[in-house]
Amino acid sequence: MASLIEKIQQIKAEIANLQAKNAEEAEALRIKYLSKKGEITALMNDFRSVPAELKKEVGMKINELKQTAMERINELKQGAAQQESAGEAVDLTRTPYPTPLGTRHPLTIVKNEIVDIFSRLGFTLAEGPEVEDDWHVYSSMNFADDHPARDMQDTFFVEAHPDIILRSHTSSVQARVMERTQPPIRVICPGRVYRNEAISARAHCFFHQVEGLYVDKNVSFTDLKQVLLLFAQEMFGPDTKIRLRPSYFPFTEPSAEMDVSCTICKGKGCSLCKGEGWLEILGCGMVDPAVLKANGIDPDIYTGYAFGMGIERIANLKYQVKDLRMFSENDVRFLDQFVNA
């Protein structure tokens, strides 16, 4: 009986001083003391010879010893695991885990490319608020009070403030630039715009535009045509051709819509261009003198041109995306296609 208690105390002292440098050593200690053939388990063989009146006392000591051993060995295992993880954190020679790379959104890629092209032509970046007032969106741009674009079918109005709207084009940025800056003005204005339209593969209630404005002395339509030709050739390739068709916009006179030779068939005719060989990409024209005057610029001294394009439209032509909704659905399978773009 005395020898069994002494053995329990001896093993208890050993356990208090246990050390392990790694998980393997901690596991070896568990096997030594707690396995089926371990030292603590072997005490049960001696327990059988303990007198009945002392079994409770001795049994409690063995159970306490077993619990102490389990706690100490678990501490050693946790300490070894922490040391190993800390060692991994500072191991600068270890091969890094493969991390999937993200990418810019295709609309951002196209917008940055457009801005970069015009930046090289001397245009500076200008931005403005998406929640605007009627003056900067419409009145300053020579829109008549009864113009269809003011109708609820096209414009989102703020209910509590009927004069406050979500801008339907980024021309409002041009107005803000002109009212606080005297020519020469040469700016490019990218941004999100909103129109009250049904969402489909070809239309959305919000989309993105890039508009440009150049105002100075002796600016002509020829200057506009040359800038747009350079842009088209930079964006779609050096063999790209353009054509300008007469059109109408309230803020430009004369006005035109610009087509580029089809990016697929090179003007020969295909399903993309519907056999015509041409694709419309933007509207443009000379700034109406009424717009210059409304924004504090003397139209007798200065002239200017303006143009505007939809970024989604350019992206559609560049990447052959047939459904406009894909740009805003955040489908990773779609976005992963632009990792190397």
CA distance readout (Å), 152 to 130, 147, 207: 17, 11, 18
Decide if 100 is inside a domain: no
What is the per-residue pLDDT across 232-276, written as a single tens digit (0 to 9) for each?
999 988 989 999 999 999 999 999 999 999 877 777 777 767 778
Residue 214 confidence (pLDDT): 97
Per-residue pLDDT, 265: 74
- 227 and 323, same domain (yes or no): yes
Give the phi and the psi of residue 186 in degrees, each rounded to 5.
-145, 95
Segments forming the whole domain that contains residue 18: 2-89
Residues 6+ apart with CB under 8 A from 63: none
Asked whether residue 96 is domain-assigned, the answer is: no
| Final residue belonging to a domain, choices 36, 59, 89 | 89
Q: Which residues of the chain have pLDDT under 50?
A: none
Q: Same domain for 113 and 234?
A: yes
Choose among 133, 204, 217: nearest CA to 175: 133
Q: What is the pLDDT of residues 108-118, one digit of tens each?
A: 999 999 999 99
Task: Tell me whether residue 53 is in a domain.
Answer: yes
pLDDT of residue 196: 86
Q: What tokens does 267 get?
A: 């003007």
Residue entry with tokens 């054509």: 243
* H or E element in which residue 252 lies: strand 252-261
- Residue % of the chain over a pLDDT of 70: 91
Predicted local confidence at residue 2, as pLDDT: 55
Residues 132 and 63 both lie in one domain: no
Amino acid 90: pLDDT: 58
Tokens encoding 222: 């020829």
pTM: predicted TM-score of the whole model, two decimal places? 0.67
The answer to whether position 266 is within a domain reads yes
DSSP-derived 3-state class of residue 188: strand
- Based on the fold, state whether residues 190 and 216 are members of the same structural domain: yes
Domain stop point among 89, 121, 143: 89
Q: Report how far residue 278's alpha carbon sits from residue 226's, in angstroms, rounded to the nearest whole number.
A: 18
pLDDT of residue 1: 54
Structurally, the chain folds into a number of domains equal to 2
81, 32: one domain: yes
46 lies in the same domain as 153: no
Same structural domain for residues 110 and 247? yes
